Amino acid sequence: MSMILDGASVAARIKEKLGPRIQKLIAGNVTPCLATILVGADSSSETYVRMKGNACRKLGMESRRIHLDESTTTEQLVDEIRKLNDDATVHGILLQHPVPHHIDERAAFEAISIDKDVDGVTTLGFAQTAFGFGLYPSCTPAAIMTILDAYNLPIEGKHAVVIGRSPILGKPVSLMLLNRNATVTICHSKTERLDEIVKSADIVVAAVGKPKFVQGDWIKPGAVVMDAGYNKGNVGDVDYDACLLNAGAITPVPAGVGPVTIAMLLKHTVDAAERMCSK
Protein backbone atom coordinates (compact mmCIF):
# COMPACT_ATOMS: atom_id res chain seq x y z
CA MET A 1 0.00 0.00 0.00
CA SER A 2 1.34 3.43 -0.93
CA MET A 3 2.47 5.88 1.72
CA ILE A 4 0.69 9.23 1.27
CA LEU A 5 3.20 12.02 1.77
CA ASP A 6 1.17 14.61 3.66
CA GLY A 7 2.64 17.97 2.74
CA ALA A 8 0.15 19.84 4.89
CA SER A 9 1.47 18.22 8.07
CA VAL A 10 5.09 18.81 6.99
CA ALA A 11 4.29 22.47 6.35
CA ALA A 12 2.60 22.76 9.75
CA ARG A 13 5.73 21.48 11.50
CA ILE A 14 7.92 23.97 9.61
CA LYS A 15 5.65 26.85 10.60
CA GLU A 16 5.54 25.67 14.21
CA LYS A 17 9.33 25.88 14.38
CA LEU A 18 9.28 29.33 12.78
CA GLY A 19 7.00 30.74 15.47
CA PRO A 20 9.60 31.22 18.24
CA ARG A 21 12.15 32.56 15.77
CA ILE A 22 9.69 35.17 14.52
CA GLN A 23 8.77 36.21 18.06
CA LYS A 24 12.45 36.61 18.95
CA LEU A 25 12.95 38.88 15.94
CA ILE A 26 9.86 40.90 16.81
CA ALA A 27 11.12 41.28 20.38
CA GLY A 28 14.20 42.86 18.85
CA ASN A 29 12.03 45.29 16.88
CA VAL A 30 12.39 43.41 13.60
CA THR A 31 9.33 41.98 11.86
CA PRO A 32 10.23 39.57 9.05
CA CYS A 33 8.82 41.11 5.87
CA LEU A 34 8.10 39.49 2.52
CA ALA A 35 7.38 41.89 -0.34
CA THR A 36 5.36 40.41 -3.19
CA ILE A 37 5.17 42.11 -6.57
CA LEU A 38 2.25 41.42 -8.88
CA VAL A 39 2.14 42.95 -12.35
CA GLY A 40 -1.23 42.99 -14.09
CA ALA A 41 -4.48 41.31 -13.11
CA ASP A 42 -4.02 37.58 -13.68
CA SER A 43 -6.59 35.91 -11.42
CA SER A 44 -4.44 32.87 -10.62
CA SER A 45 -1.47 35.05 -9.74
CA GLU A 46 -3.67 37.22 -7.54
CA THR A 47 -4.82 34.09 -5.71
CA TYR A 48 -1.25 32.88 -5.16
CA VAL A 49 -0.13 36.29 -3.87
CA ARG A 50 -3.10 36.43 -1.51
CA MET A 51 -2.32 32.94 -0.17
CA LYS A 52 1.28 33.91 0.52
CA GLY A 53 0.20 37.11 2.22
CA ASN A 54 -2.27 35.27 4.44
CA ALA A 55 0.38 32.72 5.38
CA CYS A 56 2.73 35.52 6.44
CA ARG A 57 0.14 37.27 8.55
CA LYS A 58 -0.89 34.07 10.35
CA LEU A 59 2.67 33.74 11.64
CA GLY A 60 3.00 37.40 12.62
CA MET A 61 5.16 38.31 9.64
CA GLU A 62 4.62 41.38 7.48
CA SER A 63 3.35 40.93 3.93
CA ARG A 64 3.93 43.96 1.75
CA ARG A 65 2.10 43.79 -1.56
CA ILE A 66 3.12 45.86 -4.56
CA HIS A 67 0.53 45.68 -7.35
CA LEU A 68 1.64 47.26 -10.61
CA ASP A 69 -0.46 48.05 -13.65
CA GLU A 70 -0.46 45.78 -16.71
CA SER A 71 1.26 48.53 -18.70
CA THR A 72 4.30 48.61 -16.38
CA THR A 73 7.57 48.50 -18.32
CA THR A 74 10.61 46.39 -17.55
CA GLU A 75 12.45 49.52 -16.46
CA GLN A 76 9.66 50.54 -14.07
CA LEU A 77 9.48 47.05 -12.58
CA VAL A 78 13.25 46.91 -12.09
CA ASP A 79 13.08 50.32 -10.40
CA GLU A 80 10.46 49.03 -7.93
CA ILE A 81 12.62 45.99 -7.17
CA ARG A 82 15.67 48.15 -6.53
CA LYS A 83 13.68 50.27 -4.09
CA LEU A 84 12.82 47.09 -2.17
CA ASN A 85 16.48 46.03 -2.28
CA ASP A 86 17.38 49.30 -0.55
CA ASP A 87 14.59 49.04 2.05
CA ALA A 88 16.11 47.61 5.23
CA THR A 89 12.67 46.64 6.55
CA VAL A 90 12.12 44.22 3.63
CA HIS A 91 13.84 40.84 4.02
CA GLY A 92 12.49 38.87 1.07
CA ILE A 93 11.30 39.82 -2.42
CA LEU A 94 9.01 37.66 -4.54
CA LEU A 95 8.08 38.60 -8.09
CA GLN A 96 4.96 36.65 -8.99
CA HIS A 97 5.30 35.08 -12.38
CA PRO A 98 4.43 34.98 -15.14
CA VAL A 99 4.63 38.69 -15.82
CA PRO A 100 3.03 40.33 -18.90
CA HIS A 101 4.72 39.30 -22.15
CA HIS A 102 6.21 42.71 -22.89
CA ILE A 103 8.31 42.59 -19.70
CA ASP A 104 11.77 41.01 -19.66
CA GLU A 105 11.13 38.63 -16.77
CA ARG A 106 14.75 37.50 -16.52
CA ALA A 107 15.96 41.10 -16.24
CA ALA A 108 13.45 41.67 -13.44
CA PHE A 109 14.52 38.52 -11.59
CA GLU A 110 18.18 39.48 -11.89
CA ALA A 111 17.43 42.85 -10.26
CA ILE A 112 16.55 41.11 -6.98
CA SER A 113 19.34 41.27 -4.42
CA ILE A 114 20.84 37.85 -3.68
CA ASP A 115 20.32 38.59 0.04
CA LYS A 116 16.57 38.94 -0.57
CA ASP A 117 16.13 36.30 -3.28
CA VAL A 118 14.04 34.07 -1.02
CA ASP A 119 12.30 32.43 -4.00
CA GLY A 120 15.56 31.37 -5.63
CA VAL A 121 15.00 33.00 -9.02
CA THR A 122 18.31 34.73 -9.75
CA THR A 123 21.07 33.09 -11.76
CA LEU A 124 23.46 33.66 -8.85
CA GLY A 125 21.07 31.89 -6.50
CA PHE A 126 20.75 29.04 -9.00
CA ALA A 127 24.53 28.75 -9.27
CA GLN A 128 24.93 28.67 -5.51
CA THR A 129 22.29 25.94 -5.30
CA ALA A 130 24.12 23.98 -8.01
CA PHE A 131 27.32 24.16 -6.00
CA GLY A 132 25.52 23.05 -2.86
CA PHE A 133 25.72 26.20 -0.74
CA GLY A 134 22.70 28.21 -1.86
CA LEU A 135 21.01 29.90 1.09
CA TYR A 136 17.62 30.15 -0.58
CA PRO A 137 17.02 27.49 -3.22
CA SER A 138 13.87 27.73 -5.31
CA CYS A 139 11.00 27.01 -2.98
CA THR A 140 9.29 24.12 -4.78
CA PRO A 141 12.53 22.13 -5.18
CA ALA A 142 13.31 22.89 -1.53
CA ALA A 143 9.84 21.63 -0.62
CA ILE A 144 10.39 18.37 -2.50
CA MET A 145 13.67 17.74 -0.70
CA THR A 146 12.10 18.64 2.63
CA ILE A 147 9.26 16.15 2.17
CA LEU A 148 11.69 13.38 1.21
CA ASP A 149 13.69 14.09 4.36
CA ALA A 150 10.61 14.43 6.56
CA TYR A 151 9.60 10.87 5.66
CA ASN A 152 13.19 9.57 5.77
CA LEU A 153 13.02 8.47 2.15
CA PRO A 154 16.48 7.55 0.85
CA ILE A 155 18.04 9.67 -1.87
CA GLU A 156 21.66 8.56 -2.02
CA GLY A 157 22.30 6.00 -4.72
CA LYS A 158 18.75 6.18 -6.06
CA HIS A 159 17.82 6.87 -9.67
CA ALA A 160 15.75 10.05 -9.82
CA VAL A 161 13.90 11.00 -12.99
CA VAL A 162 12.82 14.64 -13.20
CA ILE A 163 10.22 15.47 -15.83
CA GLY A 164 10.59 19.17 -16.55
CA ARG A 165 13.52 21.56 -16.97
CA SER A 166 12.30 24.97 -15.84
CA PRO A 167 14.95 27.17 -14.19
CA ILE A 168 13.02 27.39 -10.92
CA LEU A 169 11.83 23.78 -10.65
CA GLY A 170 13.13 21.03 -12.90
CA LYS A 171 16.73 22.18 -13.16
CA PRO A 172 17.32 23.14 -9.51
CA VAL A 173 15.64 20.05 -8.07
CA SER A 174 17.78 17.91 -10.38
CA LEU A 175 20.92 19.54 -9.01
CA MET A 176 19.74 19.28 -5.41
CA LEU A 177 19.11 15.55 -5.88
CA LEU A 178 22.51 15.19 -7.54
CA ASN A 179 24.16 16.95 -4.61
CA ARG A 180 22.54 14.35 -2.36
CA ASN A 181 24.19 11.57 -4.40
CA ALA A 182 21.20 10.51 -6.47
CA THR A 183 21.76 9.55 -10.11
CA VAL A 184 19.59 12.00 -12.01
CA THR A 185 17.96 11.84 -15.43
CA ILE A 186 16.32 15.06 -16.65
CA CYS A 187 13.48 14.60 -19.14
CA HIS A 188 11.37 17.09 -21.06
CA SER A 189 8.93 17.50 -23.92
CA LYS A 190 11.48 16.29 -26.50
CA THR A 191 12.51 13.17 -24.58
CA GLU A 192 11.98 9.95 -26.53
CA ARG A 193 10.67 6.80 -24.81
CA LEU A 194 9.80 8.83 -21.74
CA ASP A 195 7.65 6.09 -20.26
CA GLU A 196 10.55 3.63 -20.38
CA ILE A 197 12.86 6.08 -18.63
CA VAL A 198 10.32 6.79 -15.89
CA LYS A 199 9.88 3.05 -15.34
CA SER A 200 13.53 2.87 -14.29
CA ALA A 201 13.16 5.55 -11.59
CA ASP A 202 13.30 5.08 -7.84
CA ILE A 203 12.19 8.70 -7.45
CA VAL A 204 9.95 10.47 -9.97
CA VAL A 205 9.56 14.25 -9.87
CA ALA A 206 6.70 15.41 -12.11
CA ALA A 207 7.10 19.07 -13.03
CA VAL A 208 5.87 19.17 -16.60
CA GLY A 209 2.80 21.38 -16.22
CA LYS A 210 0.34 18.97 -17.83
CA PRO A 211 -2.60 17.45 -15.92
CA LYS A 212 -2.38 13.71 -15.24
CA PHE A 213 0.56 13.43 -17.63
CA VAL A 214 2.41 10.65 -15.81
CA GLN A 215 0.57 7.36 -16.16
CA GLY A 216 0.24 4.62 -13.58
CA ASP A 217 1.97 1.96 -15.66
CA TRP A 218 5.04 4.22 -15.96
CA ILE A 219 5.74 3.82 -12.25
CA LYS A 220 8.08 1.11 -11.03
CA PRO A 221 6.60 -0.77 -8.05
CA GLY A 222 7.76 0.92 -4.86
CA ALA A 223 8.95 4.14 -6.51
CA VAL A 224 8.53 7.51 -4.79
CA VAL A 225 6.36 9.93 -6.80
CA MET A 226 6.68 13.66 -6.11
CA ASP A 227 3.98 15.58 -7.96
CA ALA A 228 5.01 19.23 -8.27
CA GLY A 229 2.20 20.11 -10.68
CA TYR A 230 -0.98 22.01 -10.05
CA ASN A 231 -3.61 22.28 -12.78
CA LYS A 232 -7.24 23.30 -13.11
CA GLY A 233 -9.56 21.03 -11.21
CA ASN A 234 -7.08 20.49 -8.35
CA VAL A 235 -5.13 17.85 -10.23
CA GLY A 236 -1.40 17.40 -10.49
CA ASP A 237 0.94 16.27 -13.23
CA VAL A 238 0.50 12.59 -12.40
CA ASP A 239 -2.59 10.43 -12.69
CA TYR A 240 -2.84 10.07 -8.93
CA ASP A 241 -5.28 7.17 -8.68
CA ALA A 242 -3.41 5.14 -11.29
CA CYS A 243 0.06 5.90 -9.89
CA LEU A 244 -1.13 5.11 -6.38
CA LEU A 245 -1.37 1.44 -7.35
CA ASN A 246 2.38 1.09 -7.95
CA ALA A 247 4.02 3.87 -5.96
CA GLY A 248 5.66 3.14 -2.65
CA ALA A 249 5.06 6.76 -1.64
CA ILE A 250 3.28 9.63 -3.38
CA THR A 251 2.33 13.26 -2.80
CA PRO A 252 -1.33 14.17 -3.30
CA VAL A 253 -2.60 17.29 -5.05
CA PRO A 254 -3.59 19.42 -3.26
CA ALA A 255 -1.98 19.08 0.23
CA GLY A 256 1.29 17.69 -1.10
CA VAL A 257 4.18 19.78 -2.39
CA GLY A 258 2.18 23.04 -2.50
CA PRO A 259 1.82 23.77 1.24
CA VAL A 260 5.49 23.00 1.83
CA THR A 261 6.49 25.36 -0.98
CA ILE A 262 4.79 28.24 0.83
CA ALA A 263 6.29 27.13 4.15
CA MET A 264 9.77 27.19 2.58
CA LEU A 265 9.15 30.73 1.30
CA LEU A 266 8.29 31.81 4.84
CA LYS A 267 11.32 29.99 6.26
CA HIS A 268 13.66 31.63 3.75
CA THR A 269 12.26 35.05 4.64
CA VAL A 270 12.83 34.43 8.35
CA ASP A 271 16.32 33.12 7.58
CA ALA A 272 17.02 36.33 5.62
CA ALA A 273 15.73 38.52 8.45
CA GLU A 274 17.99 36.75 10.95
CA ARG A 275 21.01 37.09 8.67
CA MET A 276 20.38 40.81 8.16
CA CYS A 277 20.12 41.30 11.92
CA SER A 278 23.42 39.52 12.48
CA LYS A 279 25.36 41.78 10.09
**pLDDT confidence of residue 43:** 85
100-134 CB burial, b ≥16 within 10 A, e <16: beebebeebbebbbebbbbbbbbeebbebbbeeeb
At residue 120's C-alpha, the angle toward residues 154 and 34, to 5°, is: 115
Task: Report yes or no on 94 lying in a domain.
Answer: yes
Q: Let me know if 83 is a catalytic residue.
A: no
Task: Report yes or no on 175 lying in a domain.
Answer: yes
Neighbouring residues of 178: CB distance < 8 A, sequence distance ≥ 6? 184
What digits encode the pLDDT tens for the residues 54-92? Answer: 999 999 999 999 999 999 999 999 999 999 999 999 999
In this structure, the answer to whether residues 184 and 91 fall within a common structural domain is no
- Number of independent structural domains in the chain: 2
In this structure, the answer to whether residues 201 and 158 fall within a common structural domain is yes
For the chain, percent of residues with pLDDT exceeding 90: 94
What value does the mean pLDDT of the chain take?
97
CATH number of the domain within which 229 lies: 3.40.50.720
Task: Report yes or no on 278 lying in a domain.
Answer: no
**pLDDT confidence of residue 247:** 98
CATH number of the domain within which 43 lies: 3.40.50.10860
In this structure, the answer to whether residues 37 and 107 fall within a common structural domain is yes
Residue from 6, 15, 52, 267 carrying the catalytic annotation = 52
Task: Report yes or no on 14 lying in a domain.
Answer: no
Q: Please check whether residue 6 is in contact with residue 253, taking contact to mean a CB–CB distance below 8 angstroms.
A: no
**pLDDT confidence of residue 251:** 98
Residue from 6, 15, 117, 119 carrying the catalytic annotation = 119
In this structure, the answer to whether residues 156 and 253 fall within a common structural domain is yes
In this structure, the answer to whether residues 85 and 150 fall within a common structural domain is no
When pLDDT is cut at 50, 70 and 90, the band that residue 1 belongs to is confident
In this structure, the answer to whether residues 183 and 220 fall within a common structural domain is yes
Residue from 6, 15, 96, 267 carrying the catalytic annotation = 96
Task: Report yes or no on 266 lying in a domain.
Answer: no
In this structure, the answer to whether residues 71 and 149 fall within a common structural domain is no
SS3 225: strand
Q: Let me know if 96 is a catalytic residue.
A: yes
Task: Report yes or no on 62 lying in a domain.
Answer: yes
- Give the range of the structural domain holding residue 36, as residue numbers without chain letter: 29-115
Give whole-number Cα distances, 142 to 203, 228, 252, in Å: 15, 11, 17
**pLDDT confidence of residue 279:** 79
* Residue 253 C-alpha from the chain's centroid: 15
What digits encode the pLDDT tens for the residues 158-182? Answer: 999 999 999 999 999 999 999 999 9
**pTM score above 0.85:** yes
Query: Taking residues 24-50, what's their average pLDDT?
Result: 94
Nearest-angstrom CA–CA distance, 126 and 137? 7
